[in-house]
Amino acid sequence: MPASRSTRIVLLVYGLVVIGLLYLPLVSVGFASVSQARYLSFPIKRYSYKWYAEVLESGTVRDLLFTSLSVALIVMILSVVIAFFGALAFARYEWRYRSIFQKLILLPIFFPQTVLGLALLMWFNALGIIPSWKTAVVAHLVWIAPISTLIVAIRAYSFDPALEEAARDLGANTPTILREITLPLLLPGLVSSGLFALLLSWGNFPLSLFTTGADSTLPEWLYAKMVSGYSPLVPTLGIMSVVTSIVLILTAFAVAWLARSIRDSHAA
């Protein structure tokens, strides 16, 4: 029952409106970041880039970026490794507790992040660990590793176990199979799960709030400034954070495209 032309158009317009609304707040933030006035009011009378200059010169901002990036990169690497194995247990191997395992994986995703952050804070306290950005890595991992696992699992569902079985019949042992067959087949899923992990960690606020101790990530600093009154540095830094994410995504796409064209040229 193909949809009529008018249904198609109405739904398309609706979709565009939803996308527009999703990004409308960022448009406001963008305008605010180039407004010269210290106290923002629309329509903007004079534009200036001076807040960007101020942000770039600030040492605090450099520390924030360094902390956020360190956390995000470590979370990415650990999540991809965990997700590789987790996805195999989730989707590939038939083992006894697989369906319980699948449901267990979902629990942290359903969990309120603020509460998880506080629970971890108490746990670290009980262990005598002083929170720093390293403990924030652990906190991010609890929430992000399951998401990465699900992303890799989608890929793992679509591959044919016969490939692995054939390799085994030809005498390959398990590490060889994982390296030569499974890893290349799951690679696209691993790349996208790594990207998700990096960006979700970069933007995460509720988990960082209670687990970074004296260190501070970018979203934390923005929140602190937001609730303590307006500062023109908030929209500026916000936009810079968004631009960083976009650059990361574009880089990932470019690398993926490059890798594919190199592989194709080898194949040809």
Partner 1 sequence: MQKLNRRLGFLSSLPILAVFLVAFFAPLMVVALFSVMPPKVFNLTNTPDFSAYSVFFEQGYYRSLLWSLGMALGSTAILLIVCWPLAYGMAKVFRGFTLVLTVAVVMSLFVSENIRLFGWVLTLMKGGLIEGHIRAWTGIGFDSPLYGIPIIVFGLVYVYLPFMLFPLAQGISMVPDDARQAAADLGATRWQILTQIDIPLAAPGIIVGCLLSFVLAAGAVAEAKILGGQAVITIADDIETAFTFGQDWPLGSALSVILIFIIGSLSLLGVSRVDLDRIMGRKR
Q: Residues touching partner 1: how many (CB under 8 A)?
A: 103
77 binds partner 1 (CB under 8 A): no
Nearer to partner 1, 176 or 262 (CB): 176
Does 186 help bind partner 1 (rule: CB under 8 A)? no
Does residue 71 belong to the site contacting partner 1 (CB under 8 A)?
no
For partner 1, the closer of residues 42 and 59 by Cβ is 42
**Interface with partner 1 includes 194 (CB under 8 A)?**
no
Interface segment toward partner 1; rule CB under 8 A; list 55-63, 104-112, 183-191, 258-266: 104-112
* Of residues 224-253, those binding partner 1 (CB under 8 A): 226-227, 234-235, 238, 241-242, 245-246, 249
Select from 64, 186, 202, 233 the one that contacts partner 1 (CB under 8 A): 202
Q: Does residue 32 interact with partner 1 by CB under 8 A?
A: yes
* Residue from 34, 74, 181, 200 binding partner 1 (CB under 8 A): 200
Q: Report if residue 36 touches partner 1, rule: CB under 8 A.
A: no
For position 134 contacting partner 1 by CB under 8 A, the verdict is no
Q: Determine which residue in the list 106, 130, 166, 262 makes contact with partner 1, applying CB under 8 A.
A: 106
Three-class DSSP labels, the chain = CCCCHHHHHHHHHHHHHHHHHHHHHHHHHHHHHCECCCCCCCCCCCECCHHHHHHHHCHHHHHHHHHHHHHHHHHHHHHHHHHHHHHHHHHHCCCCCHHHHHHHHHHHHHCCHHHHHHHHHHHHHHHCCCCCHHHHHHHHHHHHHHHHHHHHHHHHHCCCHHHHHHHHHCCCCHHHHHHHHHHHHHHHHHHHHHHHHHHHHHHCCHHHHHHCCCCCCHHHHHHHHHHCCCCCHHHHHHHHHHHHHHHHHHHHHHHHHHHHHHHHHHHC
